[in-house]
Structure 1
Amino acid sequence: MSRKPRPVLHSDPHCPASPITRRPHPGIKSACYGFLASLVLAVGGAQAADQMVVVSYGGAGQKAISDAFFKPFGKADGKPLVESEYNGELARIKVMVDTGHTDWDLVQIEAPDLARGCDEGMFERLDWQKLGDTRELIPDAAQECGSASMVWSVALAYDVDKLAKAPASWADFWDVKQFPGKRGLRKRAVYNLEFALLADGVKLEDVYKVLATPAGVERAFAKLDELKPHIQWWEAGAQPVQWLAAGDVSMTSVYSGRVAAARQEGRNFSVVWPGSLYGMDYWAIIKGSRHADQAHRLIAFINKPEHQADYVKLIPYGPTNQKTLASLDPSLTQMLPSSPQNMTQALPMNVEFWVDHGEELEQRFNGWAAK
């Protein structure tokens, strides 16, 4: 598979886009850009210019971030923060930068969007001398334009009370004779192509080498063909644990944080960490921010292990500072994707691969899934 030039990113409810590339459908780029430009200019005065605007994904995740990071930092720094919600509208960020109306300052963003946005000049280059000791952070947490906010993981999970024998790998996930029942998988190419190759015997370190070839793509889809009659597709992160609890699936791929939360609620769910896939979201300062110095101070605050411990106790995502784990209860650390025992058995998501090939593979997957 050849490397493609990186397209401009766009994502907005008014601008339909693929979930990986954030690339607009043909013919709507100019219309979406015009709409967003007018929107940004219209709301430009809505945000208080003397307060930093921090933007995350909303819901329980943002509440945990707010309670562990935003509110304590605002109190310590003497300047309360304005919070807003981000739903992947990278096009809006681009318009802010292009028009000089940067009304957001710090945003939590997915790794592929960070890579492209950094290349296109949407984000400030971080001054890592202000952000703490990078040696304390897990690999790839410190980027030119981003500081990792947390580690997420997608893994195989099952209900211990409902399976006579415990699955141990993606090969077991594919084995419907030994482990009968429906399988839950996210309705996307990303994750599934990697898991299919692992189920077919490809070693962790070779997954993306194989997937980067036409033969490897064919091999992954052929493996998915084997399981297709038994798949129940999930699209929302809450669905897999609900299906496990109801017995609708015998095992499923799932965000590990959802399993950890379900265990805290008394469910006897277990995660198979070997062959799990992990990645990170990042904090990025939008180019032209009037509060870049304060944003650097907030990132430095977030990177401290004691503050990350507060966050992990509220929501079980993996901390990025390796010193955090020592202060946590072992029953919690065993469920975190950035724990050494879990991370060493896992596949790090290859962001560059999905930036370069995501659109074509998602299109092929959508066609395949619809048949």
Structure 2
Amino acid sequence: MKLKTVILAGTALAFAGGAAVAEDMTLVSWGGAYQASQKAAYADPYVADHPDINVIWDESSAEAVAKLRAMNEAGNVTWDLVDVVASDAIRLCDEGLAMEIDPDTDLAAAPDGTSAADDFGDLLVSECFIPQIVYSTTFGYRSDVADWGGKEPDDICDVFDLEAFPGKRALEKRPINNMEWALLCDGVAKDDVYEVLETEEGQDRAFKKLDTIKDSVVWWSAGAETPQLLADSEVVIGSTYNGRLFALIEEQKQPVKMLWDAQVFDLDGWIIPAGLPEDRLARVKDFLKFATDTQRLADQAKYISYGPARKSSAPLVGKHADLGIDMAPHMPTDPNNAKNTFLYNYEWWADYRDDIDAKFQAWLSQ
């Protein structure tokens, strides 16, 4: 049924099936190649079917927890749907800042009738979290560094080896992943990392390891920064999301390669802020059911090398929309790339994030 638009109290509304739905919808994401893939796979097709909708993008996902806390305190939530990592979704859900969802009511079933709950499976790590992708944080490095004498890094601990691989590094300006990599390269076994990191001594140990390269680090906050730093030769090696590096290497043809060793698997997906008015919630739920169906999640993999969160989407992943290359070998989950992975502990970081964030920022300022 075609939507009819009316203006009510200065707000554009539409009526579909008797329910009022908002015309403006603010989506919060991360910017760059990832947000572009969401726009192409989800938002543009949705708007094509709903031409009266005005999608507004906000690139504040890195600050989502703090900003949603502030909005809630002010009683003015201006965001409609927010893309966050799984640990942030758990925190927001625990604090009552994200709405619980029912997968089998709010999300589409798979094409063969499999329920959404079964299709997403174990990736539904919170009652408030709707997964979209499996991605990894890993390293890219310049393949033309003269000072390396023809050597190339192939081990995560090469990041900490300034003698064999001199030059500036790029690391994210937060403790997550950096603390884990530091402990791994200080001799802690993978299975023991979080047990060690839970202690004051373990945290001090991680900071001491990071001290060994601190003077050679450029700290980044946005995922687009490391690819630009690598392209400009401002750094020789740097961490970021694997999809950003894919764009740098395959689309921009920069002399950069992937260091997959100890890549950190993580999940990214949507949360609906708690307390949305009914018209905005109706629009968000309609968009969410569309944007997270089997085909849409598979379509996103045409634009960026992140694995779709639905089991039913995986067989539909094909070639890059523009480059025509097979996307499967570029996924973090490909067996050749996943020989040594580190599994991120969402629940641990949900519990310890605020405390270790404070310590990390204090350490940075020293």
TM-score, length-normalised on structure 2? 0.76
Q: For structure 1, which segment, 103-112 or 274-283, has the greater mean C-alpha deviation from structure 2 after superposition? A: 103-112
Distance 1:102 1:232 in 2: 34
Cα distance 1:66–1:253, how it changes in 2: closer, same or farther (>3 A)?
closer
Question: How many Å separate the matches in 2 of 1:107 and 1:59?
Answer: 12
CA RMSD of the aligned region, Å?
A: 3.0
Superposed CA offset, 1:311-339 (max 9, x none): 22233433212443433247423333344
Percent of aligned positions with the same letter in both sequences? 30
Counterpart CA distance in 2 for 1:92 and 1:216 is 32
Bigger strand fraction? 2
Letter in 1 for 2:93: C
Given the alignment of the two structures, is residue 227 of structure 1 paired with residue 205 of structure 2, yes or no? Answer: no
- Specify which of 285, 305, 308 is matched with residue 319 of structure 1: 308
Cα deviation, 1:172-217, whole Å, max 9, x if unaligned, reads 2212222222222223222211110121232333221221122211
**5+ residue gaps, structure 2:** 1-8, 14-19, 110-115, 320-324
Q: Is the 8 A contact 2:86 2:125 kept in 1?
A: no
Pick aligned residue for 1:122 from 94, 97, 105: 97
> Could you tell me how far 1:340 is from its partner in structure 2?
5.6
Q: Deviations over 1:95-129 (max 9, x none)?
A: 58xx5x76654332343442233223333321111
1:70 counterpart SS class = helix
| Aligned ranges 1:66-105 → 2 under 5 Å | 66-76=39-49, 80-86=52-58, 87=60, 88=64, 89-91=67-69, 93-94=71-72, 104-105=79-80
What amino acid is aligned across from residue 358 of structure 1 in structure 2? Answer: R
Change (3 A) 1:74 1:212: same
Structure 1 length-normalised TM:
0.75
Question: Residues 112, 80 of structure 1: CA spacing in aligned structure 2 closer, same or farther, 3 A cutoff?
Answer: farther
Aligned counterparts of 1:225 and 1:121: Cα–Cα separation in 2: 37
Are the equivalent residues in 1 in contact too, given 2:170–2:238 (CA < 8 A)? Answer: yes
CA contact (8 A) 1:94 1:122 kept: yes
CA contact (8 A) 2:68 2:97 kept: no
**Alpha carbons 1:318, 1:339 under 8 Å: kept:** no
Residue deviations 1:300-359, cap 9 Å, x none?
Answer: 333333222322223343321244343324742333334465457322332332232223
Tell whether 2:294 aligns with 1:305: yes
Q: Where do 5+ consecutive residues of structure 1 fail to align? A: 1-43
What is the count of residue pairs matched by the alignment?
324
Query: Is the contact between residue 150 and residue 280 of structure 1 (CA under 8 Å) also seen in structure 2?
Result: yes
Tell me which residue corresponds to 1:19.
Answer: none
Give the AA of the match of 2:167. G
Q: Residues 199 and 127 of structure 1: is their aligned pair in 2 closer, same or farther, counting only changes over 3 Å?
A: same
Question: Partners of 2:364 and 2:26 in 1: how far apart?
Answer: 38
Query: Secondary structure of the residue that 2:22 maps to in structure 1?
Result: coil
Give the distance between the partners of 1:82 and 1:58, measured in 2 at CA.
19
Candidates 17, 24, 28, aligned match of 1:56 = 28
